[in-house]
Amino acid sequence: MSDTVSLQTITDFAEQLAREAGELIRRERDENTLRTDYKAQSELVTHADVMADKFITGAIRERFPDHRILSEETMPDLSQAEQLDTPLWIVDPIDGTVNYAYGHPQVAVSIAYAEQGRVRAGIVHAPFSDETFRGTEGEGATLNGKAIRHSDAQAPRDALFATGFPYTKDHLEPLVARLDAMIRQCRDLRRIGSAALDICWVACGRLDIYYENVSPWDFAAGRLIALEAGATAGHFGSVPEGYPADLYGRDILISAPAIWAPVREILRKASGYD
């Protein structure tokens, strides 16, 4: 552990930041006029995204000045995930920004901590439902302090799955093919609008399956939480050689263990990988 700080202390610090950032974004939406803009011409961003990002990353820099930070709004350089020499924090100040802008409650602050490309601590805090998912490597996963576990689903046909779609709509054909295959062979779809919460809901059994193409800040914390809750996490496509699997978000698949392999085959076939 870097700087002789325990993993428990790291997780406690991340939880404190996530809770304080959650209060900031809740207050900003409830009490002030919501200010929105777009990045990359299509992706919605709010003033609260930037405020919360600056608050979290500023606190991390003050406490751990030698650590690196990968954050969606202020430090989105994905090459950070490939530099394994120093600890890395992965931050999404508001996962579910469209939900946030529309007044939906499925919004989360996601903070993960990684060493040598391996995520070792993760917090996903949902301020509007006051739910805090927490995972520490080797210590299990909790929701508001109580242990959680995956659903133990046994067959895809009995499984509830979640996925998401990109802001840009230029290459939807592969996603639609996967959705068609999954909806035909699983129980039903839920479209929640927050990847971090989708994954945490797999961790606590509210969902059985999650798959998508996402960025590290969307899934890093949730993935560890799901693993600590006994779920299986991996990819239905290939991971580039040398890239940390914990931080590679293309073709990600997380599910109850018994259905992971058959669902992977469904998605591979629909993607034309086999």
Bridge partner residues of 143 (DSSP): 133, 146
CB-neighbour burial class of residue 32 (10 A; exposed 0-12, middle 13-18, buried 19+): exposed
Question: Which amino acid, residue 243?
Answer: Y
pLDDT digits (tens, 9 = 90+) for 219-248: 999 999 999 999 999 999 999 998 999 999
Structural domain ending residue among the three candidates 99, 122, 147: 147
pLDDT digits (tens, 9 = 90+) for 156-180: 999 999 999 987 777 899 999 999 9
Range of the domain at 125: 2-147
Span 109-136, average pLDDT: 97
**Whether the predicted model's global pTM rises above the 0.75 cut:** yes
pLDDT digits (tens, 9 = 90+) for 182-201: 999 999 999 999 999 999 99
Residues 113, 19 share a domain: yes
Other beta carbons within 10 Å of 38:
10
Structural domain ending residue among the three candidates 112, 147, 182: 147
Task: Check if the beta carbon of residue 25 is closer than 8 Å to that of residue 52.
Answer: yes
Q: Rounded to an integer, what distance in angstroms lies between the CA atom of residue 62 and that of residue 230? A: 34
User: How many domains does the chain contain in total?
Assistant: 2
Give the pLDDT score at 38: 58
Span 132-139, average pLDDT: 98
Bridge partner residues of 122 (DSSP): 112, 135
Residues 137, 9 share a domain: yes
Measured torsion, CA atoms of residues 137, 139, 140, 142, in degrees rounded to the nearest 10: -110
Other beta carbons within 10 Å of 240:
10
- Per-residue burial over 151-180, b if 16 or more Cβ lie within 10 Å, else e, is bebeebeebbbbbbeeeeeeeeeebeebbe
Residues 161, 193 share a domain: yes
